[in-house]
Amino acid sequence: MSGPDKPKVIGEEWSDERVRSFLAIEPAAPGIDADFLVLHKAYQAMRAGDFERLIGFFVAAGRNLNAVGESGETILDHIQAHRRSTEYAAALKAAGAKTRAEAGS
């Protein structure tokens, strides 16, 4: 991990334990969906392969891939808005994630 006292490490291998640790992320404020938050934080921090592994652990833990954020979007909606997110979106779709429009149908 990088921070003010640690240099950013590019291409660092993440252990399963480190990837799974994201499942423990809790919202700091009420009203924020923990499942959406976990996926959002993982998307921000992980390479696509690690994110795909997290999705496997996430689904196995019975978590909701279609949880919505404060603006009503699913994580798939959010990720698809970014042009370099193809691998992340593909991993979510393969696991059964839906956009807000698909989940509402």
| Domain range list for the chain | 16-104
Please give the chain's pLDDT, 105 residues, in tens: 444 555 555 567 899 999 999 999 999 988 899 999 999 999 999 999 999 999 999 999 999 999 999 999 999 999 999 989 999 999 999 999 999 999 875
**Whole-prediction pTM value?**
0.85
Cβ neighbours, 10 Å, residue 77:
21
CA distance 82 to 66: 18
- Provide the pLDDT for residue 101: 92
The tokens of 78 are what?
């959010």
- Provide the pLDDT for residue 93: 97
- Provide the pLDDT for residue 7: 53
The tokens of 66 are what?
């279609």
- Provide the pLDDT for residue 13: 81
Exposed e or buried b per residue across 36-70, where buried means at least 16 C-beta atoms within 10 angstroms of its C-beta: bbbbbebbebbebebbbbbbebbeeeebbbbbbbe
